[in-house]
Amino acid sequence: MSGDDGQAPEAGRPGVYVETSVISYLTADPSRDFRLRAHQQFTKEWWDLRRGEFRLFVSALVRREAGAGDPAMVARRSEVLRLMEVVRITDEAQEFAASLVRENLVPAKAAADALHIATAAVYEIDYLLTWNCKHIANARVRPRIENACRRAGYRPPVLCTPEELL
């Protein structure tokens, strides 16, 4: 697949790095929680109406995270993941992720979130789609992460939710 060699994805349609929470919301049974159910509906609406406008990417980290848990849910997530291109987690992405943690932009306990951000930035993917509004798509954290990307020489991905990308 494109990107497996560590090179930036080819130009064309804008790219979206799809973080694990989006895959989970897309494939989960409807939640009883009103807020979570709304997130699920926004995710499905984006998937059904807008995903064709983008090239979709995931990393080995997304695949690993989506591969954990109930086997029936893993199977659902795996079907969705088959529709996306896989980008390799490079040493460069790992180093940038470590710097995001060192700079306290992402807490050490959320190092995987830093790796999602770093991978999208290193590959110059236009958007990072997530429902993780604590460490990634957070209005207070977002500008600091964008500045860190620029300081490191990367064009920051737009950190957003499926609702924002509709």
Query: What is the pTM for the complete model shown?
Result: 0.92
Report yes or no on 150 lying in a domain.
yes
- Residue 4 pLDDT > 60, yes or no? no
Report yes or no on 44 lying in a domain.
yes
> What's the mean per-residue pLDDT of the chain?
94
What is the tens place of the pLDDT at every residue in 107-136?
Answer: 999 999 999 999 999 999 999 999 999 999
Report yes or no on 5 lying in a domain.
no
Q: pLDDT value at position 10?
A: 60
Report yes or no on 4 lying in a domain.
no
Report yes or no on 8 lying in a domain.
no
Report yes or no on 107 lying in a domain.
yes
Q: How far apart are CA 40 and CA 113, in angstroms?
A: 20
Report yes or no on 2 lying in a domain.
no
What CATH number is associated with residue 90?
3.40.50.1010
Domain ranges, residue 155: 15-165
SS3 string of the chain?
CCCCCCCCCCCCCCEEEECHHHHHHHHCCCCCCHHHHHHHHHHHHHHHHCHHHCEEEEEHHHHHHHCCCCHHHHHHHHHHHCCCEEECCCHHHHHHHHHHHHCCCCCHHHHHHHHHHHHHHHCCCCEEECCCCCCCCCCCCHHHHHHHHHHCCCCCCEEECHHHHC
Report yes or no on 143 lying in a domain.
yes
* Total domains, the chain: 1
